[in-house]
Structure 1
Amino acid sequence: MKVRDLMTRDVEVARPEEPIQSVAQRMARGDFGFMPVVDGKRLIGAVTDRDLAIRAVAGALPPSTPVGEVMTRDVTFLHENDDLETVLNKMSGEQIRRLPIVNDARDLCGVVSIGDMAAKVKERYAGEALEAISKPAAGHA
């Protein structure tokens, strides 16, 4: 299974010049704590609710501060053609819950989360299990 089969494609993104207050409000409305930051389509970083709390609020930055000043620049990401094992190793090794997914040009394609993986893997293996138990046993037609 490839990352492109697991990821969420329609994700909200922030622009580096967008004010932190606007980003925080969108995160609150959408009830998510992670947002990729893009320049055009190219992934340049990510901002989390933790980034906003520690770098912006604790640093007493004004609400108009561009998100590019508080985002994580050296963001861990995966490629859309990476496989499930790569995702699991990266998430467990670096204790990351969400990863941006890019193409060869480093354009953002989507985000994969632990929840995405759990749902897709469960769906796949539940289907395989159902198929296996639905096959008639030898001598039972």
Structure 2
Amino acid sequence: MKVSNCMTTDVQITDPEHTLRDVASMMGRLDAGVLPVGENDRLVGMITDRDIAIRGVAEGKGPDAKVRDVMSTDVKYCFDDEDVEDVLHNMGDLQVRRLPVLNRSKRLVGIISLGDLAMKGETMETGKALSGISQRGGAHSQTAH
């Protein structure tokens, strides 16, 4: 199965100059814990509710701090024409639960999560990926800096 068959296509994007208050409010309205960050028609980062809590609030940044101050800039992604099994394996290795999905022109076309994949019947592979993701530490750990 291809990523394009499983991904969520209705993805909201935030701007690096938006405030943490703006993006937290947007996440609340969308019932989402992550938003891609775009600038000049390009994906430049990702921001999660955890980024807001750990890199924002815990480090003394207020609600008017900018998204750019707390977002992750080392964005890992997958392509819409990739096989789901390869992407799940990669998610486990990278220890991420979601990946932005790009087309081959490197334009954001969706986002894929472990939940999306589990709902599409990829339960065994999703379980393996979750096992890797759930390990402590890793490149995307908030406290490993």
Q: Same fold by TM-score, threshold 0.5 exceeded?
A: yes
1:44-59 equivalences under 5 Å are 44-59=44-59
TM-score, normalised on structure 1?
A: 0.80
- Computed over aligned residues only, the root mean square deviation of the Cα atoms, in angstroms, reads 1.4
1:71-98 C-alpha deviation (Å, 9 max, x unpaired)? 0000111011111111111112122111
Alpha-carbon distance in 2 for matches of 1:79, 1:2 = 9
Q: Which residue of 2 aligns with 1:68?
A: 68
Q: Post-superposition shift, 1:8?
A: 0.4
2:120 counterpart of 1:85: no
2:26 counterpart of 1:26: yes
TM-score, normalised on structure 2?
A: 0.78
Letter in structure 2 aligned against 1:74: D
Structure 2 unaligned residues grouped into runs of 5+: 123-145
Q: Is this contact kept in 2: 1:43–1:102, CA < 8 A?
A: no
Q: Secondary structure at the residue paired with 2:120? A: helix
1:102-117 equivalences under 5 Å are 102-117=102-117
Q: Post-superposition shift, 1:63?
A: 1.7
Q: Is this contact kept in 2: 1:38–1:44, CA < 8 A?
A: yes
Q: Which residue of 2 aligns with 1:17?
A: 17
Letter in structure 1 aligned against 2:5: D
Q: Give the count of matched residue pairs.
A: 122
Letter in structure 1 aligned against 2:64: S
Q: CA 1:93–1:23 in structure 2 vs 1: closer, same or farther (change >3 Å)?
A: same
Q: Which residue of 1 aligns with 2:7?
A: 7
Letter in structure 2 aligned against 1:73: T
Q: Which residue of 1 aligns with 2:142?
A: none
Structure 1 unaligned residues grouped into runs of 5+: 123-141
Alpha-carbon distance in 1 for matches of 2:71, 2:105 = 21
Letter in structure 2 aligned against 1:82: E
Higher-Rg structure is 1
Q: Secondary structure at the residue paired with 2:59? A: coil
| 4+ residue segments displaced more than 4 Å | none
Q: Is this contact kept in 2: 1:45–1:74, CA < 8 A?
A: yes
Q: Post-superposition shift, 1:52?
A: 0.4
Letter in structure 1 aligned against 2:120: K
